[in-house]
Chain A
Amino acid sequence: MSSAQLREVIPGGKADQFVASNDSQVREAEAREGTFFLELQGELPFGQEQLCVGDLLAVSTEADAEPGDLVVWWTGSPESQALARIEADLSLRPVEGFAVPDESGQSLRGLSLRGTSLRGISLRGVVVGRLRRLTP
């Protein structure tokens, strides 16, 4: 059972000026090109991943995913997305606290990994960075 969630947000601050579109309609911006932001919410186990609740993940829809990359994938339900890492054998390994890709959709072999789907798994983008607002 996944306990962490990702929610699309507008980052605020200077980052807004850099993103392709800072319209309120984030989906529109994503459809055009560029980077969008997802906020980590819920409960995230403290692990090796160094991710904290409140981190804003910058996700690129244009980058090609490669083994070792952290990616955002749709879990199947329209608003549900999760974080996973692409393994050397091109399978998805879930990040702790997020949904596990099912067996039928686990293999990504032979897939052009940009914005396409295979056997139920659709990659939304590649995590290129993380924005953390530093509060005392």
Chain B
Amino acid sequence: MKSLKKTAGLSAWQSQGEQDRRTVLHVDLDAFFVAVERVVNPSLRGRPVVVGGAPEERGVVAAASYEARSFGIHSAMPMAQAVRLCPDLVRVRGHRQLYGRASKAVFRVLHQYTPVVEQVSIDEGYLDLTGTQLLFGQAVDVAERIRREVHERLRLDLTVGLAGNRLVSKVASAFAKPCGMFDVRPGQEASFLSPLPVKALPGIGPVTHRRLLDFNIERLGTLAATEAWFLQDVFGSHGNSMRRRASGKDDTPVCPAWERPKAKSIGHEQTFSRDTEDHAFLRAKLQELLESATRRLRGQGLLTRRLTVKLRYADFVSETRDLSLPVPTDHDAELFEPALELLRRMATRRTLVRLLGIRLSQLQRGYWQSDFWNPERNQERRLVGILDQLREKYGTTSVRTGATVKLASSRFTSPNLLAPPPSIPSGKFPLNPKFLGGGRGFFRPRQKPDALPSLTQGRNAEPAWSQAS
């Protein structure tokens, strides 16, 4: 139910409290390459123009003007075919450096309105305008001002989508093309998407589209209303993500280049020298993997928002489970319990385990946020920093935490530390007495040397667009 208190005193358009909502703008330059060519050569205006290689050189269309598109010409079409479709077609070879300069100039304008600008391609980007209202006014006014400024100063046209998240703003701008602005009312994201065809959703390619049509799922509203278990069965984890996105939910942040990590994920996994079913060993190994992965995170000044645990059985059947973290972190103690829970959910087969791995993804630049009300947590985190320094100076195995110390000893036996908590039905876990009884003979797995990156790696990275020329 939407908040009613916030409706008082606000306009109908912003009745859902635009001020405290996230506001994301997706900007897309219309027929960008052609538009730049027309700025340089005004005689191209109003004519069917394409940018691309010559037909005799097996060239393809890189960009087409709207006049050319009315002939059925589109990008990636062979140039020879485009010329056949429109004999009066004007072909321009293209000037990539010029496009780069124009793009840089456009993004310089965008940066005047918010520092949170993510350039996703030469002619496309996202702006997070949340919290800029007091400086620049309503987001819709900002969108118009940006568009006017880009048109007057650079003579290029922008299409703008405005919504509460990236996904919907992207669909909205596709809706508004060419040279328009579509503003999705706050709270109406699902209703806006509902009647649209499934292929309108970014991330649904031709194969998934065909598969959805096989199941008579033609509209995003139908996709959003489809049972989660069904989509999970047919599409795997992608199914649930599609369902969530079809209802207009997306919490992906707008990530400017200075916040964007070079690596998309950091993963550590280890194949054991002997297959095992020892829960205590797996638990200790999990801790060790998390410690080394988070040390790499901290070294690069990154935080993770997604944790994946991977398990491979002796029969080579692999399973993965992942979860999103409520708060981005680089602290292994905050990841251990969720990771252990994922491992508990997976370890249901009466088969020896061959490999254990973890992966930290949805990385972002930033540093761990201390907690004013939880000094113990802050102390723990400081300790981790000190451990990092010790390990860097004396080697990765010089200091061990309690959970992993036995991995270094000659014998390793322990009670079953991975026993399910009381809230989880015991029927979901194997009744194999060996599992319940705990340890087997110890074997020392091969230690994988940690590749610790340079501390300066990534920190001095220049924003992507400042490097472009």
Chain A positions near chain B (C-beta within 8 angstroms): 13-15, 18-20, 33-35, 47-51, 58, 60, 62-63, 66-70, 83, 85, 87-88, 95, 126-136
Contact = CB atoms under 8 A, between A and B. Distances in A.
Given A68-B4, A131-B182, A132-B183, A50 B195 contact: no
Contact of A58 (B16, B148, B174, B192): B192
A63 B188 contact: yes
B197 A18 contact: yes
B363 to A, nearest CB: 33
B200 A18 contact: yes
Contacts of A15: 175-176, 182
26 contacts: A13-B180, A14-B174, A14-B175, A14-B177, A15-B175, A18-B197, A18-B200, A33-B219, A50-B11, A51-B13, A60-B194, A62-B195, A63-B188, A63-B194, A67-B4, A68-B7, A69-B188, A70-B15, A126-B188, A128-B184, A129-B185, A129-B188, A134-B147, A134-B157, A134-B181, A136-B151
Nearest to A20: B195
Contacts, number: 127
Contacts of B179: 133-135
Contact of A136 (B13, B148, B192): B148
A129 B13 CA distance: 9
A95 B13 CA distance: 10
A128 to B, nearest CB: 4
B151 A131 contact: no
Given A49-B11, A58-B182, 6 more contacts: A14-B174, A68-B16, A95-B12, A129-B185, A132-B181, A136-B148
Interface in B124-180: 138, 140, 144, 147-148, 151-152, 157-158, 160, 172, 174-180
A127 B181 CA distance: 16
Contact of A48 (B2, B11, B183): B11
A63 B194 CA distance: 9
B228 interface: no
A49 to B, nearest CB: 5
A35 B195 contact: yes
A73 B16 CA distance: 20
B191 interface: yes
A18 B179 CA distance: 16
A68 B15 contact: yes
Interface centre among A18, A20, A48 (most CB of B within 10 A): A18
A50 B137 CA distance: 12
